[in-house]
Amino acid sequence: MEGMFIPTRAAGLETLADFVPRAGRDYARDRNHDTGASRDNVSGLSPYLRHRLLTEREVVAAVLERHPLSSAEKFVQEVFWRTYWKGWLEQRPEVWRRYRRDLAELSPPNGSPSHDYEEAIAGRTGIDAMDAWVHELIDTGYLHNHTRMWFASIWIFTLGLPLQLGADFFYRHLLDGDAASNTLSWRWVAGLQTAGKTYLATASNISRFTDGRFSPSGLATTARALVEDSLPSPEAIPTAHSAPAEGRIGLLLHEEDLDAASLFSEHLWLGSGSGLVAVAGSADPDARSPLGASDAVRDFTAAALEDGVERASREVGRPGRVLPDALPSTALEWAASERLDTVVVPHSPVGPVQERMLTLEAALGSEGVALTTVRRRWDTLAWPHAARGFFPFRERIPGLLREQGL
Protein backbone atom coordinates (compact mmCIF):
# COMPACT_ATOMS: atom_id res chain seq x y z
CA MET A 1 0.00 0.00 0.00
CA GLU A 2 2.96 2.33 0.39
CA GLY A 3 3.02 4.93 -2.35
CA MET A 4 -0.62 4.19 -3.31
CA PHE A 5 -1.32 7.87 -4.06
CA ILE A 6 0.63 9.62 -6.84
CA PRO A 7 0.50 13.39 -6.15
CA THR A 8 -0.50 14.67 -9.59
CA ARG A 9 -3.74 15.74 -11.19
CA ALA A 10 -3.19 13.18 -13.94
CA ALA A 11 -3.07 10.38 -11.35
CA GLY A 12 -6.20 11.77 -9.72
CA LEU A 13 -8.05 11.72 -13.03
CA GLU A 14 -7.00 8.10 -13.58
CA THR A 15 -8.26 7.21 -10.11
CA LEU A 16 -11.55 8.96 -10.83
CA ALA A 17 -12.01 7.17 -14.16
CA ASP A 18 -11.32 3.84 -12.48
CA PHE A 19 -13.80 4.52 -9.68
CA VAL A 20 -16.73 5.97 -11.63
CA PRO A 21 -18.20 2.59 -12.71
CA ARG A 22 -18.29 1.55 -9.02
CA ALA A 23 -19.67 4.82 -7.65
CA GLY A 24 -23.32 3.78 -7.56
CA ARG A 25 -24.94 0.89 -5.72
CA ASP A 26 -21.64 -1.01 -5.37
CA TYR A 27 -20.17 1.87 -3.37
CA ALA A 28 -23.31 2.25 -1.25
CA ARG A 29 -23.25 -1.46 -0.40
CA ASP A 30 -19.54 -1.94 0.30
CA ARG A 31 -18.13 1.43 1.35
CA ASN A 32 -18.04 0.72 5.10
CA HIS A 33 -15.90 -2.40 4.78
CA ASP A 34 -12.17 -2.17 5.45
CA THR A 35 -10.76 -5.30 3.87
CA GLY A 36 -7.11 -4.26 4.02
CA ALA A 37 -4.86 -3.51 1.09
CA SER A 38 -7.66 -3.76 -1.48
CA ARG A 39 -9.50 -0.46 -1.77
CA ASP A 40 -11.88 -1.24 -4.62
CA ASN A 41 -14.89 -0.47 -2.43
CA VAL A 42 -13.91 3.19 -1.87
CA SER A 43 -12.87 5.92 -4.27
CA GLY A 44 -9.30 6.70 -3.20
CA LEU A 45 -9.97 10.30 -4.24
CA SER A 46 -9.67 12.05 -0.87
CA PRO A 47 -6.00 13.18 -1.15
CA TYR A 48 -6.77 14.69 -4.58
CA LEU A 49 -9.90 16.47 -3.38
CA ARG A 50 -8.20 17.69 -0.23
CA HIS A 51 -5.56 19.55 -2.28
CA ARG A 52 -7.99 20.31 -5.09
CA LEU A 53 -5.86 18.54 -7.62
CA LEU A 54 -9.39 17.50 -8.53
CA THR A 55 -12.39 19.65 -7.67
CA GLU A 56 -15.53 18.49 -5.96
CA ARG A 57 -17.62 19.66 -8.89
CA GLU A 58 -15.76 17.68 -11.51
CA VAL A 59 -15.75 14.52 -9.39
CA VAL A 60 -19.48 14.71 -8.73
CA ALA A 61 -20.14 15.60 -12.38
CA ALA A 62 -18.20 12.54 -13.58
CA VAL A 63 -20.15 10.26 -11.24
CA LEU A 64 -23.55 11.72 -12.18
CA GLU A 65 -22.79 11.32 -15.86
CA ARG A 66 -22.62 7.56 -15.24
CA HIS A 67 -25.16 7.07 -12.41
CA PRO A 68 -28.46 8.71 -11.44
CA LEU A 69 -28.36 10.56 -8.14
CA SER A 70 -30.60 7.91 -6.59
CA SER A 71 -27.85 5.31 -7.16
CA ALA A 72 -24.83 7.52 -6.40
CA GLU A 73 -26.39 9.38 -3.48
CA LYS A 74 -24.09 7.86 -0.84
CA PHE A 75 -20.94 8.85 -2.69
CA VAL A 76 -22.22 12.33 -3.49
CA GLN A 77 -23.07 12.79 0.18
CA GLU A 78 -19.54 11.78 1.16
CA VAL A 79 -18.13 14.51 -1.08
CA PHE A 80 -20.54 16.99 0.47
CA TRP A 81 -19.55 15.88 3.99
CA ARG A 82 -16.13 17.46 3.38
CA THR A 83 -17.82 20.61 2.11
CA TYR A 84 -20.14 20.65 5.11
CA TRP A 85 -17.29 20.36 7.63
CA LYS A 86 -15.48 23.25 5.98
CA GLY A 87 -18.58 25.43 5.90
CA TRP A 88 -19.38 24.64 9.54
CA LEU A 89 -15.87 25.54 10.70
CA GLU A 90 -15.85 28.66 8.54
CA GLN A 91 -18.71 29.93 10.68
CA ARG A 92 -17.14 28.79 13.96
CA PRO A 93 -13.40 29.52 13.74
CA GLU A 94 -13.20 29.58 17.54
CA VAL A 95 -13.39 25.75 17.46
CA TRP A 96 -10.17 25.68 15.47
CA ARG A 97 -8.49 28.30 17.63
CA ARG A 98 -9.50 26.41 20.79
CA TYR A 99 -8.15 23.15 19.39
CA ARG A 100 -4.84 24.80 18.55
CA ARG A 101 -4.55 26.34 22.04
CA ASP A 102 -5.34 23.04 23.72
CA LEU A 103 -2.85 21.21 21.52
CA ALA A 104 -0.11 23.75 22.30
CA GLU A 105 -0.66 23.18 26.03
CA LEU A 106 -0.40 19.40 25.61
CA SER A 107 2.66 19.45 23.33
CA PRO A 108 6.30 20.19 24.18
CA PRO A 109 7.63 22.49 25.50
CA ASN A 110 4.42 23.38 27.38
CA GLY A 111 3.23 19.83 27.99
CA SER A 112 4.78 16.40 28.25
CA PRO A 113 2.88 13.60 26.47
CA SER A 114 2.34 10.53 28.63
CA HIS A 115 3.99 7.15 28.32
CA ASP A 116 0.62 5.75 27.18
CA TYR A 117 0.52 8.30 24.36
CA GLU A 118 4.05 7.42 23.24
CA GLU A 119 3.17 3.72 23.26
CA ALA A 120 -0.03 4.39 21.29
CA ILE A 121 1.67 6.30 18.45
CA ALA A 122 4.37 3.62 18.30
CA GLY A 123 1.74 0.93 17.78
CA ARG A 124 2.33 -0.74 21.12
CA THR A 125 -1.08 -0.58 22.83
CA GLY A 126 -1.51 -4.36 22.83
CA ILE A 127 -4.79 -3.93 20.92
CA ASP A 128 -3.99 -5.71 17.66
CA ALA A 129 -6.33 -3.66 15.49
CA MET A 130 -5.17 -0.35 16.92
CA ASP A 131 -1.49 -1.20 16.55
CA ALA A 132 -1.98 -2.36 12.97
CA TRP A 133 -3.83 0.85 12.10
CA VAL A 134 -1.06 2.99 13.58
CA HIS A 135 1.48 1.32 11.31
CA GLU A 136 -0.82 1.53 8.31
CA LEU A 137 -1.33 5.24 8.86
CA ILE A 138 2.38 5.93 9.27
CA ASP A 139 3.36 3.76 6.31
CA THR A 140 0.70 4.89 3.81
CA GLY A 141 -0.71 8.25 4.96
CA TYR A 142 -4.19 6.76 4.76
CA LEU A 143 -6.85 4.97 6.78
CA HIS A 144 -10.31 3.85 5.70
CA ASN A 145 -12.97 6.27 6.94
CA HIS A 146 -14.74 3.66 9.09
CA THR A 147 -11.39 2.72 10.62
CA ARG A 148 -10.75 6.36 11.51
CA MET A 149 -13.93 6.32 13.59
CA TRP A 150 -12.94 3.12 15.39
CA PHE A 151 -9.45 4.48 15.97
CA ALA A 152 -10.71 7.75 17.46
CA SER A 153 -13.22 5.95 19.67
CA ILE A 154 -10.64 3.53 21.07
CA TRP A 155 -8.15 6.40 21.54
CA ILE A 156 -10.62 8.49 23.54
CA PHE A 157 -12.77 5.96 25.41
CA THR A 158 -10.56 2.87 25.81
CA LEU A 159 -7.09 4.40 26.07
CA GLY A 160 -8.33 7.59 27.74
CA LEU A 161 -5.97 9.79 25.71
CA PRO A 162 -6.64 13.47 24.88
CA LEU A 163 -8.73 14.04 21.79
CA GLN A 164 -6.42 16.82 20.65
CA LEU A 165 -3.35 14.57 20.57
CA GLY A 166 -5.23 11.96 18.57
CA ALA A 167 -6.49 14.51 16.06
CA ASP A 168 -2.95 15.86 15.81
CA PHE A 169 -1.55 12.37 15.16
CA PHE A 170 -3.99 11.95 12.28
CA TYR A 171 -3.36 15.45 10.91
CA ARG A 172 0.41 14.91 10.88
CA HIS A 173 0.11 11.68 8.90
CA LEU A 174 -3.01 11.76 6.72
CA LEU A 175 -2.37 12.78 3.12
CA ASP A 176 -5.99 13.94 2.97
CA GLY A 177 -5.94 15.56 6.42
CA ASP A 178 -7.53 18.99 6.56
CA ALA A 179 -8.38 21.23 9.46
CA ALA A 180 -12.16 20.92 9.22
CA SER A 181 -12.74 17.24 8.42
CA ASN A 182 -10.10 16.03 10.84
CA THR A 183 -10.86 18.25 13.82
CA LEU A 184 -14.63 18.02 13.58
CA SER A 185 -14.69 14.26 12.97
CA TRP A 186 -12.72 13.70 16.17
CA ARG A 187 -15.10 16.04 18.00
CA TRP A 188 -18.06 14.07 16.63
CA VAL A 189 -16.71 10.77 17.98
CA ALA A 190 -16.07 12.43 21.36
CA GLY A 191 -19.61 13.80 21.71
CA LEU A 192 -18.68 17.44 21.28
CA GLN A 193 -19.79 18.10 17.71
CA THR A 194 -23.29 16.77 18.35
CA ALA A 195 -23.38 17.51 22.07
CA GLY A 196 -23.73 14.34 24.11
CA LYS A 197 -23.79 11.96 21.11
CA THR A 198 -20.70 9.75 21.01
CA TYR A 199 -19.45 6.94 18.78
CA LEU A 200 -18.48 3.71 20.53
CA ALA A 201 -16.28 1.20 18.69
CA THR A 202 -17.21 -2.42 19.41
CA ALA A 203 -15.39 -5.66 18.66
CA SER A 204 -18.40 -7.06 16.82
CA ASN A 205 -18.67 -4.06 14.51
CA ILE A 206 -14.94 -4.07 13.82
CA SER A 207 -15.00 -7.81 13.12
CA ARG A 208 -17.98 -7.48 10.80
CA PHE A 209 -16.59 -4.66 8.70
CA THR A 210 -13.01 -5.94 8.58
CA ASP A 211 -14.23 -9.36 7.43
CA GLY A 212 -12.91 -10.90 10.64
CA ARG A 213 -9.37 -9.55 10.33
CA PHE A 214 -9.73 -7.90 13.74
CA SER A 215 -11.93 -8.54 16.77
CA PRO A 216 -10.19 -6.67 19.58
CA SER A 217 -10.87 -7.47 23.21
CA GLY A 218 -10.86 -5.11 26.16
CA LEU A 219 -12.57 -2.19 24.45
CA ALA A 220 -14.57 0.32 26.45
CA THR A 221 -18.22 -0.64 26.80
CA THR A 222 -19.44 2.89 27.49
CA ALA A 223 -18.59 6.25 25.94
CA ARG A 224 -19.27 9.25 28.13
CA ALA A 225 -19.34 12.42 26.05
CA LEU A 226 -16.64 15.00 26.57
CA VAL A 227 -17.79 18.47 27.54
CA GLU A 228 -16.52 21.95 26.75
CA ASP A 229 -17.26 25.60 27.43
CA SER A 230 -20.05 27.09 25.34
CA LEU A 231 -19.05 28.24 21.88
CA PRO A 232 -19.76 31.77 20.65
CA SER A 233 -22.53 32.37 18.14
CA PRO A 234 -21.71 31.46 14.53
CA GLU A 235 -19.92 34.13 12.53
CA ALA A 236 -21.03 35.31 9.10
CA ILE A 237 -19.04 33.87 6.22
CA PRO A 238 -17.01 36.70 4.69
CA THR A 239 -18.21 37.93 1.32
CA ALA A 240 -16.27 36.46 -1.59
CA HIS A 241 -14.24 38.87 -3.74
CA SER A 242 -15.81 39.55 -7.11
CA ALA A 243 -14.04 42.64 -8.47
CA PRO A 244 -11.17 41.91 -10.87
CA ALA A 245 -7.68 42.80 -9.70
CA GLU A 246 -5.82 45.45 -11.65
CA GLY A 247 -2.27 46.14 -12.72
CA ARG A 248 0.37 43.44 -12.82
CA ILE A 249 -1.10 40.31 -11.24
CA GLY A 250 0.64 37.27 -9.82
CA LEU A 251 -1.12 34.00 -9.00
CA LEU A 252 0.16 32.32 -5.83
CA LEU A 253 -1.06 28.75 -5.41
CA HIS A 254 -1.01 26.93 -2.08
CA GLU A 255 -1.71 23.41 -0.85
CA GLU A 256 -5.46 23.98 -0.37
CA ASP A 257 -6.18 24.53 -4.07
CA LEU A 258 -3.92 23.42 -6.91
CA ASP A 259 -6.05 23.49 -10.06
CA ALA A 260 -5.59 26.86 -11.69
CA ALA A 261 -7.41 25.95 -14.91
CA SER A 262 -10.79 25.45 -13.22
CA LEU A 263 -10.15 28.51 -11.07
CA PHE A 264 -9.64 30.55 -14.24
CA SER A 265 -12.87 29.17 -15.70
CA GLU A 266 -14.77 30.40 -12.64
CA HIS A 267 -13.05 33.79 -12.54
CA LEU A 268 -12.73 34.72 -16.18
CA TRP A 269 -10.89 37.96 -15.45
CA LEU A 270 -7.91 35.82 -14.40
CA GLY A 271 -7.69 34.16 -17.80
CA SER A 272 -6.06 35.21 -21.02
CA GLY A 273 -5.93 38.92 -21.67
CA SER A 274 -5.76 39.82 -17.96
CA GLY A 275 -2.80 41.35 -16.21
CA LEU A 276 -1.65 37.93 -14.99
CA VAL A 277 2.10 37.98 -15.51
CA ALA A 278 3.49 35.51 -12.99
CA VAL A 279 2.70 32.20 -11.31
CA ALA A 280 4.21 30.77 -8.14
CA GLY A 281 3.33 28.33 -5.39
CA SER A 282 4.23 27.85 -1.75
CA ALA A 283 3.33 25.29 0.91
CA ASP A 284 4.03 24.62 4.56
CA PRO A 285 2.73 21.20 5.57
CA ASP A 286 4.63 21.38 8.87
CA ALA A 287 2.22 24.10 10.00
CA ARG A 288 -0.32 21.34 10.57
CA SER A 289 1.15 20.56 13.97
CA PRO A 290 3.64 21.70 16.63
CA LEU A 291 5.44 18.45 15.75
CA GLY A 292 5.39 19.14 12.01
CA ALA A 293 4.11 16.75 9.37
CA SER A 294 5.22 13.27 8.41
CA ASP A 295 7.70 12.73 5.59
CA ALA A 296 4.88 11.22 3.52
CA VAL A 297 2.74 14.36 3.92
CA ARG A 298 5.71 16.62 3.17
CA ASP A 299 6.62 14.66 0.04
CA PHE A 300 3.04 14.45 -1.23
CA THR A 301 2.44 18.16 -0.63
CA ALA A 302 5.69 19.21 -2.32
CA ALA A 303 5.05 17.07 -5.40
CA ALA A 304 1.40 18.16 -5.62
CA LEU A 305 2.47 21.82 -5.42
CA GLU A 306 5.05 21.33 -8.16
CA ASP A 307 2.41 19.67 -10.35
CA GLY A 308 -0.06 22.50 -9.71
CA VAL A 309 2.45 25.24 -10.50
CA GLU A 310 3.61 23.47 -13.66
CA ARG A 311 0.07 23.12 -14.95
CA ALA A 312 -0.76 26.73 -14.06
CA SER A 313 2.31 28.02 -15.87
CA ARG A 314 1.30 26.10 -19.00
CA GLU A 315 -2.20 27.54 -18.72
CA VAL A 316 -0.85 31.08 -18.46
CA GLY A 317 2.00 30.63 -20.89
CA ARG A 318 4.58 31.96 -18.44
CA PRO A 319 7.20 30.22 -16.30
CA GLY A 320 6.09 29.27 -12.81
CA ARG A 321 8.11 29.18 -9.60
CA VAL A 322 7.85 26.92 -6.60
CA LEU A 323 9.00 29.15 -3.78
CA PRO A 324 11.57 27.52 -1.48
CA ASP A 325 9.50 28.18 1.64
CA ALA A 326 6.24 29.76 2.79
CA LEU A 327 7.75 32.73 4.59
CA PRO A 328 6.11 36.11 3.84
CA SER A 329 9.55 37.55 3.04
CA THR A 330 10.02 34.99 0.26
CA ALA A 331 6.66 35.82 -1.29
CA LEU A 332 7.52 39.52 -1.00
CA GLU A 333 10.77 38.97 -2.89
CA TRP A 334 8.86 37.13 -5.63
CA ALA A 335 6.26 39.92 -5.87
CA ALA A 336 9.00 42.54 -6.04
CA SER A 337 10.96 40.65 -8.70
CA GLU A 338 7.83 40.48 -10.87
CA ARG A 339 6.85 44.10 -10.09
CA LEU A 340 3.40 42.94 -9.00
CA ASP A 341 0.56 45.21 -8.00
CA THR A 342 -1.68 42.36 -6.83
CA VAL A 343 -1.17 38.80 -5.65
CA VAL A 344 -4.19 36.55 -6.22
CA VAL A 345 -4.61 33.42 -4.07
CA PRO A 346 -7.34 30.76 -3.97
CA HIS A 347 -9.47 31.03 -0.86
CA SER A 348 -8.17 28.93 2.03
CA PRO A 349 -10.70 27.70 4.61
CA VAL A 350 -10.14 28.02 8.35
CA GLY A 351 -6.86 26.34 9.21
CA PRO A 352 -3.09 26.87 9.02
CA VAL A 353 -3.05 28.00 5.37
CA GLN A 354 -5.62 30.69 6.10
CA GLU A 355 -3.48 31.85 9.02
CA ARG A 356 -0.50 32.03 6.66
CA MET A 357 -2.47 34.00 4.07
CA LEU A 358 -3.55 36.57 6.67
CA THR A 359 0.08 37.09 7.65
CA LEU A 360 1.05 37.37 3.98
CA GLU A 361 -1.73 39.91 3.30
CA ALA A 362 -0.34 42.19 6.02
CA ALA A 363 3.23 41.82 4.75
CA LEU A 364 2.26 42.55 1.13
CA GLY A 365 0.12 45.49 2.19
CA SER A 366 3.07 47.05 3.98
CA GLU A 367 4.85 47.12 0.60
CA GLY A 368 1.88 48.46 -1.33
CA VAL A 369 0.91 45.13 -2.91
CA ALA A 370 -2.71 44.00 -2.63
CA LEU A 371 -3.75 40.42 -1.89
CA THR A 372 -6.98 39.26 -3.51
CA THR A 373 -8.64 35.99 -2.54
CA VAL A 374 -10.88 34.16 -5.02
CA ARG A 375 -13.39 31.63 -3.73
CA ARG A 376 -14.89 28.80 -5.70
CA ARG A 377 -18.61 28.85 -6.45
CA TRP A 378 -18.98 25.37 -4.91
CA ASP A 379 -18.00 26.78 -1.51
CA THR A 380 -19.88 30.04 -1.86
CA LEU A 381 -23.14 28.23 -2.59
CA ALA A 382 -22.80 25.43 -0.03
CA TRP A 383 -21.11 26.86 3.04
CA PRO A 384 -23.98 29.10 4.24
CA HIS A 385 -26.18 25.98 4.56
CA ALA A 386 -23.71 24.36 6.99
CA ALA A 387 -24.96 26.42 9.93
CA ARG A 388 -26.55 23.48 11.74
CA GLY A 389 -26.20 19.68 11.55
CA PHE A 390 -25.43 17.63 8.48
CA PHE A 391 -28.96 16.31 8.00
CA PRO A 392 -30.52 19.74 7.24
CA PHE A 393 -27.51 20.35 4.99
CA ARG A 394 -28.07 17.02 3.24
CA GLU A 395 -31.59 18.09 2.27
CA ARG A 396 -30.02 20.96 0.34
CA ILE A 397 -27.78 18.75 -1.80
CA PRO A 398 -30.18 18.28 -4.77
CA GLY A 399 -30.72 22.03 -4.95
CA LEU A 400 -27.00 22.73 -4.68
CA LEU A 401 -26.35 20.31 -7.53
CA ARG A 402 -28.91 22.13 -9.68
CA GLU A 403 -27.26 25.46 -8.87
CA GLN A 404 -23.99 23.92 -10.03
CA GLY A 405 -25.61 22.84 -13.29
CA LEU A 406 -25.38 19.15 -12.34
- Of 155-169, 267-281, 302-316, which gets the smallest average pLDDT? 267-281
Q: Is residue 217 part of a domain?
A: no
Residue 1 has pLDDT above 50, yes or no: no
Q: Is residue 2 part of a domain?
A: no
- State the CATH number of the domain containing residue 136: 1.10.579.10
- State the CATH number of the domain containing residue 261: 3.40.50.620
What letters, b where the CB count within 10 A reaches 16 and e where it falls short, cover 209-247? bbeeebbbeebbeebeebeeeeeeeeeebeeeeeebbee
* Domain co-membership, 387 together with 368: no
| Nearest Cα residue to 22 out of 45, 46, 42 | 42
Q: What average pLDDT does the chain have?
A: 95
Mean pLDDT across 36-43: 85
- State the CATH number of the domain containing residue 62: 1.25.40.80
Q: Is residue 182 part of a domain?
A: yes
Range of the domain at 115: 93-209
Q: Could you tell me the pLDDT band of residue 36, with boundaries at 50, 70 and 90?
A: confident
Q: Is residue 219 part of a domain?
A: no
Domain end call among 209, 235, 265? 209
* Domains held by the chain: number: 3
- Per residue in 48-82, pLDDT tens? 999 999 999 999 999 999 999 999 999 999 999 99
Q: Tell me what pLDDT residue 112 has.
A: 83
Domain end call among 209, 235, 270? 209
Mean pLDDT across 36-54: 92
* Domain co-membership, 125 together with 155: yes
* Domain co-membership, 178 together with 271: no
Q: Is residue 398 part of a domain?
A: yes
Q: Tell me what pLDDT residue 215 has.
A: 94
* Domain co-membership, 85 together with 200: no
* Domain co-membership, 168 together with 109: yes
- Per residue in 173-228, pLDDT tens? 999 999 999 999 999 999 999 999 999 999 999 999 999 999 999 999 999 999 99
Q: Is residue 238 part of a domain?
A: no
Q: Tell me what pLDDT residue 282 has.
A: 98
Integer-rounded Cα Rg, in Å, for the chain is 21
Q: Tell me what pLDDT residue 2 has.
A: 44
- Per residue in 234-262, pLDDT tens? 999 988 776 788 899 999 999 999 999 99
Q: Could you tell me the pLDDT band of residue 272, with boundaries at 50, 70 and 90?
A: low
